Amino acid sequence: MSDDRQTKAFPVSWDQFHRDARALAWRLAGAGPFSGIVCITRGGLVPAAIVARELGVRLIETVCIASYHDYKNQGDTEVLKPIAEAVIKAAGANGRGILVIDDLVDTGKTAKVVRDMLPEAHFATVYAKPLGRPIIDTFITEVSQDTWIYFPWDMGLTFQPPIRDGVA
């Protein structure tokens, strides 16, 4: 989403992300079997690795999409690399049996582009915001639309001022 109203912060550590991605794999275990995984880069690469390991899926493909070109600012959705024909052919009609994974769904714009490519695929994200939720099939944690999720690969350790310095 492209606005300044995402005032709440939801920081996620590596530990928490691993736990949440594994919880996603547990939830997906009953939804398969899946002939392959298509991950939406770049954010989908990390949960896809974890879910693929848990579900024993070894055919992994990327669909390379960029839409947030600057921090918090969504631009046009750009498909940099489509899904390989071999992967589409290995799936059932309209992508049935394919698992599509991303780290989160926000407005749903990115997922919609891939949904148009694979209408019958199973779409899963670790986190979801209300606007994008209807377009996906499975997720683990919902956060409000005015929340920005901070992923561990985007963060580093920084000094935190003592709490008492911020108390009036």
Residue ranges of the binding site for Mg(2+)? 103
The catalytic site residues sit at 102-103, 106
Cα 108 to Cα 112: distance, rounded to the nearest angstrom: 6
Rounded to a whole number of angstroms, the minimum distance from the CB of residue 167 to ligand PRP is 35
By CB under 6 A, is residue 133 in contact with ligand XAN? no
Examine residue 68 and tell whether it contacts ligand XAN (CB under 6 A).
yes
Q: Which stretch binds ligand XAN (CB under 6 A): 25-33, 51-59, 77-85, 143-151?
A: 143-151
Calpha distance 47→19 (Å, rounded): 10
Query: Of 59 and 148, which has the nearer Cβ to ligand PRP?
Result: 148
Q: How far apart are CA 65 and CA 114, in angstroms?
A: 9
Going by C-alpha positions, the residue among 69, 54, 158, 150 that lies closest to residue 103 is: 150
> Of 17, 21, 62, 110, which one interacts with ligand PRP (CB under 6 A)?
110
| Vertex 159: Cα angle to 157 and 164 (nearest 5) | 135
